[in-house]
Amino acid sequence: MFDILVYLFENYIHNEADIYVNHADLTKELSRAGFHDDDIFKALKWLDSLSALQQSHIKPYLTKVTTNALRIYTAEEQRKIDAADQGFLMFLEQINVLDAQTREMVIDRVMDLDGNSISLEDLKWVVLMVLFNVPGRESAYAQMEDLIFEEPEGPLH
């Protein structure tokens, strides 16, 4: 399912292609690309849920944001999002790529993915997809895009 999400993001969303393709046409194209129908359905449902998160009345994560709050992960979240991934999310908050609301959106989308855990690379893609779908977070999106795609220059010591 995650491969489909990345495929869609790279081929439609990130490249600013026609995003308003209907589900039937998209399902046919993904089937031709070799993806299984069950995974296609799950991926499209995941994307629909991501779009729905923009509407605060559907899942109002935060009613009051405090700057000194610490996020405590549930046992289920800790099983899926390991300490390194949690540290990465905290780092993204510290450099203002994520705020408390977008962090919660990322966690929501991660928890809805198939599998028992998520890799750091996959987490980065989820963050990128969430930021792309949040109006007003263009700068944070660009910063995250640099973290994913930018090659380090010069020798690493």
Q: What is the pLDDT of residues 55-97, one digit of tens each?
A: 654 455 544 555 667 889 999 999 999 999 999 999 999 999 9
Q: Is the dihedral of CA 106, 45, 74, 57 positive or negative?
A: positive
Interval 4-33 mean pLDDT: 74
Interval 33-62 mean pLDDT: 77
**Residues 28 and 74 placed together within one structural domain of the fold:** no
Residue 110 has pLDDT above 60, yes or no: yes
Residue 157 lies in a domain: no
Q: How many domains does the chain have?
A: 2
Residue 94 lies in a domain: yes
The residue segments making up the domain with residue 39 are 1-52
**Residues 3 and 37 placed together within one structural domain of the fold:** yes
Nearest Cα to Cα of residue 114 among 27, 9, 20, 4: 4
Residue 48 lies in a domain: yes
- Give the chain's length: 157
**Residues 70 and 142 placed together within one structural domain of the fold:** yes
Helix 100-111 × helix 120-132 angle, to 10°: 120
**Residues 34 and 106 placed together within one structural domain of the fold:** no
**Residues 118 and 77 placed together within one structural domain of the fold:** yes
Residue 36 lies in a domain: yes
**Residues 65 and 40 placed together within one structural domain of the fold:** no
| Residue at a domain's end among 18, 33, 52 | 52
Q: What is the pLDDT of residue 53?
A: 77
- Angle value at C-alpha 126, between 125 and 129, nearest 5 degrees: 85
Q: First and final CA of the chain: distance in angstroms?
A: 37
Q: What is the pLDDT of residue 106?
A: 95
Residue 21 lies in a domain: yes
The tokens describing 122, both together, are: 């996959």
Helix 37-52 × helix 23-32 angle, to 10°: 140
Return the number of other C-beta atoms located less than 10 Å from residue 20's C-beta: 6
CB-based contact 109:49 (threshold 8 Å): yes
**Residues 36 and 67 placed together within one structural domain of the fold:** no
CB-based contact 88:120 (threshold 8 Å): yes
Q: What is the pLDDT of residue 154?
A: 55
**Residues 65 and 47 placed together within one structural domain of the fold:** no
Residue 70 lies in a domain: yes
Residue 129 lies in a domain: yes
Taking the C-alpha atoms of residue 146 and residue 157, their distance in angstroms, rounded to an integer, is 21
**Residues 34 and 76 placed together within one structural domain of the fold:** no
Residue 156 lies in a domain: no
